[in-house]
Amino acid sequence: MIQQSPAFTFNIFPHQEKLRLVVFNNDEEYVCRIESKKKMYQFLEGNDATLFKGRLQLIKNQDDIAIQVKGRILGELSIEAFRELLKN
């Protein structure tokens, strides 16, 4: 689990054949998104700067990925830390 701010944390869990990306607010599930592992790796390797539309969005910078919920960036993590979460 990656601590994004005092109240928010982010984690990725296996979900059937896909991945479940979850943002928690004070240990309560705040928002989630289910996506394929393949699409997540395509995002990391590709040129697209954003992934997803809607409440939860990921924004890729040169070395980091920002986690945006409802138009507000809640935190960032390195691309390497994000890759590690995908492996689990």
Q: What band does 53 get if pLDDT is binned at 50, 70 and 90?
A: confident
Backbone φ, ψ for residue 18 (5° rounding)? -125, -170
Q: How many domains does the chain have?
A: 1
Distance in angstroms (rounded) separating the CA atoms of residues 4 and 86: 17
Type of residue found at 25: N
Range in 5-14, 22-31, 66-75 with the lowest mean pLDDT: 5-14
Report, in angstroms and rounded to the nearest whole number, the Rg of the chain calculated over CA atoms: 12
Domain enclosing residue 21, as ranges: 2-87
**Residue 72 scores a pLDDT above 80:** yes
Distance in angstroms (rounded) separating the CA atoms of residues 19 and 17: 7
Mean pLDDT to the nearest integer, 2-31? 87
Q: What predicted TM-score, i.e. pTM, was given to this entire model?
A: 0.85
The token duo for 33 is: 């998104």
pLDDT in tens, 35-47: 999 999 999 998 8
Specify the pLDDT at position 48.
Answer: 86
Specify the pLDDT at position 3.
Answer: 54
